[in-house]
Amino acid sequence: MNRCDSAPQAIQFKDNHGRGISYLRLSVTDRCNLRCRYCWNTSNYSFMPHDHVLRYEEMLALVTAAHDLGVRKIRLTGGEPLVRKGIADFLGMVAERHPDMSIRMTTNATLLAGQTRKLKANGLHALNISLDTLDASKFSAITGRDMFSRVMASIDEALDVGIKVKINVVAMRGVNDNELPGFLKLAQNKDLDVRFIEYMPMGEATGWNQSAYWSADDILAESQTLVSLTPVEYVGGSHGPARMFTMQGGRGRLGVISPLSNHFCGSCNRLRITSDGKLRPCLFSDREFRLRPLLRSPKMGKQQLLKVIRLAMQNKPLGYEILCRQREKVSVASRRMSAIGG
Looking at residue 18, its amino acid is G
CB 108 within 8 A of CB 170: no
Residue 200's pLDDT band (cuts 50, 70, 90): confident
Q: For residue 43, what pLDDT is reported? A: 58
Q: For residue 5, what pLDDT is reported? A: 41
Q: For residue 278, what pLDDT is reported? A: 95
Q: For residue 18, what pLDDT is reported? A: 76
Which is higher by pLDDT, 287 or 2?
Answer: 287
Q: Mean of the pLDDT values across residues 317-337? A: 55
Q: Per-residue b/e over 152-170, b at no fewer than 16 CB within 10 Å?
A: bebbebbbeeebbbbbbbb
How high is the mean pLDDT of the chain? Answer: 86
CATH fold for domain 3-340: TIM Barrel (3.20.20)
Is the pLDDT at 7 greater than 70? The verdict is no
Q: Mean of the pLDDT values across residues 263-286? A: 83
Is the pLDDT at 36 greater than 90? The verdict is no
Q: For residue 40, what pLDDT is reported? A: 64
**Range from 71-75, 97-101, 199-203, 310-314 carrying the lowest mean pLDDT:** 199-203
Q: For residue 241, what pLDDT is reported? A: 86
Q: Per-residue b/e over 229-257, b at no fewer than 16 CB within 10 Å?
A: beeeeeeeebebbbbbbbbeebebbbbbb
Is the pLDDT at 273 greater than 70? The verdict is yes
Is the pLDDT at 98 greater than 70? The verdict is yes
Q: For residue 1, what pLDDT is reported? A: 36
Which is higher by pLDDT, 153 or 263?
Answer: 153
Q: Mean of the pLDDT values across residues 93-114? A: 98
219-239 confidence digits (pLDDT tens)? 999 999 999 999 998 765 556
In the chain, % of residues over pLDDT 70: 82
Looking at residue 232, its amino acid is V
CB 228 within 8 A of CB 289: no
pTM of the model: 0.87
Q: Mean of the pLDDT values across residues 255-284? A: 84
HEC per residue, the chain: CCHHHHCCCCCCEECCCCCEECEEEEECCCCCCCCCCCCCCCCCCCCCCHHHCCCHHHHHHHHHHHHHCCCCEEEEECCCHHHCCCHHHHHHHHHHHCCCCEEEEEECCCCCCCCHHHHHHCCEEEEEEECCCCCHHHHHHHHCCCCHHHHHHHHHHHHHCCCEEEEEEEEECCCCHHHHHHHHHHHHHCCCEEEEEECCCCCCCCCCCHHHECCHHHHHHHHHCCCCEEECCCCCCCCCCCEEEEECCCCCEEEEECCCCCCCHHHCCEEEECCCCEEECCCCCCCCEECHHHHHCCCCCHHHHHHHHHHHHHCCCCHHHHHHHCCCCCCCCCCCHHHHCC
